[in-house]
Structure 1
């Protein structure tokens, strides 16, 4: 979670996230659906590095927005 906070702070510092945007962290043991976002991001990251097999399965349901800083 600390790494996530550093990433959020870095994105805000570069203008990648609006300063007023609220970001909360949840416990997947309390909310099992939180793992879905992690899986989608992982599939997108793998596709970005050349392994798109997982992202292809999600591509019709996901809108990927690239932010260039």
Structure 2
């Protein structure tokens, strides 16, 4: 996971916090990342999840062959 992904996760969690009064723009500016990058990261979440599931299946197959 790269640095930007970690930052985007923190921004996402902050936005979900009901006590948060900061905007996405403000959080992105403070973190030094682009707002468009944050939204692109959000949009790509299903693709990342699908890739993670495929990686897990591939790992299990390799492990089964190894054993």
Regarding TM over 0.5, the answer is no
> Which structure's CA Rg is the greater one?
2
Q: Which has the higher helix share?
A: 2
TM-score for the superposition, normalised by structure 1:
0.28
TM-score for the superposition, normalised by structure 2:
0.29
